[in-house]
Structure 1
Amino acid sequence: MTGKGSVNHNSRKFHAKNTDSERSCLNVEYCNENVKDVYHELFDEALTRYNEKQTRSDRRIDDYYNKILRGKQEKPFHEIIVQIGNKDDMGAKTEDGQLAAKVLDEYMQGFQQRNPTLRVFAAYLHMDEATPHLHIDFVPYTTGSKRGLDTRVSLKQALSALGFKGGTRRETERNQWVAYEKEQLAAIMLEHGIDWEKKGTHEKHLSVLDFEKKEWAKEVAELEQSISDGKEQLSNIQIQQRKAEQETEQIRQEGEAIRQEVSELSETSNLLKEQAATLAGDKEKLLSDNEKLEKQQKKLQQEIEKMVQSKAVMERNIYAYDEDEKWQLPEPVTLMSAKAYKDKKASPLVEKLKETIKALTIKCVQLAEQGKKLKDKVTRQEQQISRLTDKVMEQSNTIDRLQEKVADLGRLERYFGIEQVLSIVERSKTLERAEKVNKCPKRAFDMSR
């Protein structure tokens, strides 16, 4: 049978009216894991891979368990209840009931090995009710899925992986699996001397009317199953349609983003060409300015050499004043009067010294002014060189950015193909021209004149 899956009831966290708490100690707990922990174990890696592929945040899944819990396609987990006989022939307090418990225990021991895609997280053998029975709770999952998570919850696909392929409406994967599990239980029963009485297979005692009623009931059940399947298929189609609409909208938005990026890259390419031409002109100007600076530096070097030579000449002249006889005051001649010595010897030498000092003073002033001008000129040239160097660095950075944009454009051409990129650029230009035409003011004419 299919159970509702009350783990708290199965683990006896609370007792219902049909349980005998004094016999609860005879119950067997095979496993009792938190279903959310099992979801993390089975699906966390697949969830990470799925979220990494999503470009839109609204399509990412934060908690896979909550998504399945809120969804309508799959149940978070399934429960089956396995029982042999009833309270009249397999009562829990009887020897036959003890035999039934032994058979159920053997059946449970091989359940997970037979069904590897049904992850059992809770299983109990209850001996505190009228008849011994098993509760088995499991999460069905499939791997290698092409839709959604590559490892996801799916009872249909989990059973299909076990070899149960759906056929007619009656022969669903689940019905085939249930029949197989009954056969496994019957084989264990037979080992313990218990035969399987398959009820509902003999119709000899039914009247014609009862037989027809039963057939009608079967047809109604089949129709209800068909309606349920149709609703499920319709729901799946609607979900797929919504997903297709979302994917179409995403593709449209991505196409618009690509068109915008191609348009920007096209504008950048034009700007690159203009700036390349500007840089070529700046390069020629820099070369010309550099040549002028080199000539000015040579000229400055020559003037500095002249100043050095003038300094050497002045130094030689200084030594001449001390040693040369013409700059020495001669001894007075015997019997020469003081007036005659002054007029003929002292006064001419003093006048000569005065003229020389004047000339030297003027020359020093001229050299000082010339040195100051040369120093200012060198400073200006250094500032100009610094400005030109900064400009070259700025233009080099601009070239790097523009080359990166060109590389992006090349990547788009390699990814989408140059024809598609050119087509997008042409459509973008057409749209821009249309927008410009629409923005132009229209002149109104008065036709009555």
Structure 2
Amino acid sequence: MTGKGSLNHNSRKFHAKNTDPNRTHWNVEYCNEDIKDVYHELFDDALKRYNDKQTRKDRKIDDYYEKIRSGKQEKLFHEVILQIGDKDNMGSETMEGQLAAKILDEYMKGFQERNPTLRVFAAHLHLDEATPHLHIDFIPYVTGSKRGLDTRVSLKQALSSLGFKGGSRSETELNQWVQSEKEKLAMVMRENEIEWEQKGTHEPHLSVLDYKKKVREQEVEELTEHKNLLEHDLHDISECVDEIQKEKEQVEKERDAVIKKTEVLEKRFSALNSKAGLVDSHAREYGYYPEEWLPEAGTLESAKSYRKRIFPLVKKVANMIQALYSKYLELKSKNQKLSDRNLDLENRVDRLREEVSVIKKENVALLNVSYDMDRVVAVLGKNKVKEAIEVAKHLEQANAKQNIKKKRIDRDGR
């Protein structure tokens, strides 16, 4: 069902020997987008977010498409090929072949909705070969990733988000998903009164030697995939350590900034207290001993003349007192706000200190994990580490089978 994928062949930019150009116009092209454009659509925003967080230039990624194309951890895209019957019972030029094409067409229409994390960019139904068959090319991706780009290429995680959880070696996410899609196709077949004849999985037409060779090739491929996943995890741990270090530095900068703001506020607070003291000084000057600054009336001066002479001075004092009181209220309000702000900043400094302490501990733990992995590889060598992992996997599988067997015995005993 799965294939390597040849986009130019699928879109008939060139014809192979097994195609009939006279029937190419029968083919159906559901979509045929440029894969680079789709990569930009899916990952550009995540790539920007990732690069913005990097403090080291060598950690930044210029082109995510090229990174995946030249890397070994993930494929650029995946392809599934679906066919019903063969040239003897479902030939493209027969009525049965047309029915097969109809079934494949119905299956294709629900594929993207059923698999939202597998972005289909090219899909072709071929009727110019011996038997109708469907090519679906897609990019598997995951969102909300905690490592690397928050939206990144990952077949394992894309299928996991669809509900397929890996188990034993034969029950990988991919194998489970392929079986599920076969059952979806079988359901469409039944709706069109065609029954799915499931053939044996041991491929009896292969010789024993060829079959064993094929099994070994599958094992090597799975081991290589597992190795790539381990390397990917180590890379992600390293990136995580860098991100925590960056976050730690940012928190320390914020803490220093808060401390500086606190010092500035304390100076302003002190200045306001000085101004408040000036208000008190004016109040004492004009409030407690008025006889010291009010002029006395002359010996023969009338009350009317005295009031006329003293009124400007009293008015001046009243205006000054009113202005001073308004300034006092203003300074009192500012003083309270600055006190509240100062308290808030002190609390924030305490919280930031606690966060720095937690981040330091996490940083040390992650560094220890990374160093331990390096020590294991240095002492045992990469081959020994891989062998140990394989032994552990076989033990896990054996235990799993033993548990299943035990559950069956318990169930049958009941």
- Coarse TM-score class (shorter-chain normalised): 0.5 to 0.7
Measured after TM superposition, the shift of residue 415 of structure 1 is 3.9
Does the 8 Å contact 1:293/1:381 carry over to 2?
Answer: no
Q: 1:234 to 1:153 in 2, by over 3 A?
A: closer
Counterpart residue number, 1:173: 173
- CA-to-aligned-CA distance 1:113-142 (integer Å, 9 cap, x gap): 654554545432111234321122334455
Question: 2:3 aligned with 1:2, yes or no?
Answer: yes
Query: Aligned AA for 2:248?
Result: I
Q: Please show how residues 297-308 of structure 1 align to structure 2 within 5 Å.
A: 298-299=294-295, 306=301
Q: 1:162 to 1:415 in 2, by over 3 A?
A: same
Name the % identity: 39
| Distance (whole Å) between structure 1 residues aligned to residue 113 and residue 266 of structure 2 | 68
Aligned length: 342
Q: 1:410 to 1:257 in 2, by over 3 A?
A: closer
Higher relative contact order (CA 8 A, sep 6+): 2
Counterpart residue number, 1:409: 345
Q: 1:307 to 1:179 in 2, by over 3 A?
A: same
Question: 2:80 aligned with 1:80, yes or no?
Answer: yes
SS in 2 for 1:283: helix
| Distance (whole Å) between structure 1 residues aligned to residue 352 and residue 87 of structure 2 | 72
Query: Aligned AA for 1:181?
Result: E
Counterpart residue number, 2:53: 58
Measured after TM superposition, the shift of residue 222 of structure 1 is 1.3
Q: TM-score of the superposition, structure 1-length normalised?
A: 0.56
Counterpart residue number, 1:365: none
| Distance (whole Å) between structure 1 residues aligned to residue 127 and residue 220 of structure 2 | 39
Tell which deviates more after alignment, 408-417 or 228-237. Answer: 408-417
Q: 1:15 to 1:214 in 2, by over 3 A?
A: closer
| Distance (whole Å) between structure 1 residues aligned to residue 111 and residue 213 of structure 2 | 36
Question: 2:281 aligned with 1:285, yes or no?
Answer: yes
Q: 1:24 to 1:217 in 2, by over 3 A?
A: closer
Counterpart residue number, 2:260: 264
Q: 1:297 to 1:76 in 2, by over 3 A?
A: farther
5+ long unaligned stretches in structure 1: 312-369, 424-449
Measured after TM superposition, the shift of residue 173 of structure 1 is 0.9
Q: TM-score of the superposition, structure 2-length normalised?
A: 0.59
Q: Cα RMSD between the aligned structures? A: 5.3
Does the 8 Å contact 2:11/2:124 carry over to 1?
Answer: yes
Does the 8 Å contact 2:35/2:121 carry over to 1?
Answer: yes
Q: 1:201 to 1:277 in 2, by over 3 A?
A: same
| Distance (whole Å) between structure 1 residues aligned to residue 305 and residue 338 of structure 2 | 56
Counterpart residue number, 1:16: 15
SS in 1 for 2:216: helix
Q: Please show how residues 318-397 of structure 1 align to structure 2 within 5 Å.
A: none
| Distance (whole Å) between structure 2 residues aligned to residue 138 and residue 76 of structure 1 | 9
Counterpart residue number, 2:371: none
Measured after TM superposition, the shift of residue 226 of structure 1 is 0.8
| Distance (whole Å) between structure 2 residues aligned to residue 114 and residue 266 of structure 1 | 57
Measured after TM superposition, the shift of residue 240 of structure 1 is 2.1
Q: 1:196 to 1:188 in 2, by over 3 A?
A: farther
Measured after TM superposition, the shift of residue 406 of structure 1 is 0.9
Measured after TM superposition, the shift of residue 156 of structure 1 is 1.9
Q: 1:34 to 1:287 in 2, by over 3 A?
A: farther
Q: 1:378 to 1:399 in 2, by over 3 A?
A: same
Question: 2:247 aligned with 1:246, yes or no?
Answer: no
SS in 2 for 1:192: coil
Q: Which has the larger radius of gyration?
A: 1
Does the 8 Å contact 1:159/1:173 carry over to 2?
Answer: yes
SS in 2 for 1:81: strand
Query: Aligned AA for 1:136?
Result: I
Q: 1:29 to 1:269 in 2, by over 3 A?
A: closer
Q: 1:68 to 1:282 in 2, by over 3 A?
A: farther
SS in 2 for 1:170: coil
SS in 2 for 1:124: strand
Does the 8 Å contact 2:262/2:346 carry over to 1?
Answer: no
| Distance (whole Å) between structure 2 residues aligned to residue 252 and residue 74 of structure 1 | 33
Q: 1:383 to 1:128 in 2, by over 3 A?
A: same
- CA-to-aligned-CA distance 1:20-42 (integer Å, 9 cap, x gap): 44323212234566778978998
Counterpart residue number, 1:275: 271
Tell which deviates more after alignment, 108-117 or 29-38. Answer: 29-38
| Distance (whole Å) between structure 1 residues aligned to residue 349 and residue 54 of structure 2 | 29
| Distance (whole Å) between structure 2 residues aligned to residue 273 and residue 214 of structure 1 | 85
- CA-to-aligned-CA distance 1:46-75 (integer Å, 9 cap, x gap): 969x96xx9x93359xxx996466445555
| Distance (whole Å) between structure 1 residues aligned to residue 10 and residue 220 of structure 2 | 34
Counterpart residue number, 2:128: 128
SS in 1 for 2:15: coil
| Distance (whole Å) between structure 1 residues aligned to residue 239 and residue 292 of structure 2 | 77
User: Which of 236, 242, 246 is the matching residue for 2:233?
Assistant: 236
| Distance (whole Å) between structure 2 residues aligned to residue 309 and residue 111 of structure 1 | 104
| Distance (whole Å) between structure 2 residues aligned to residue 128 and residue 104 of structure 1 | 15
Q: 1:296 to 1:40 in 2, by over 3 A?
A: farther
SS in 2 for 1:168: coil
- CA-to-aligned-CA distance 1:352-396 (integer Å, 9 cap, x gap): xxxxxxxxxxxxxxxxxx98xx98x89998998899799869967
| Distance (whole Å) between structure 1 residues aligned to residue 290 and residue 122 of structure 2 | 91
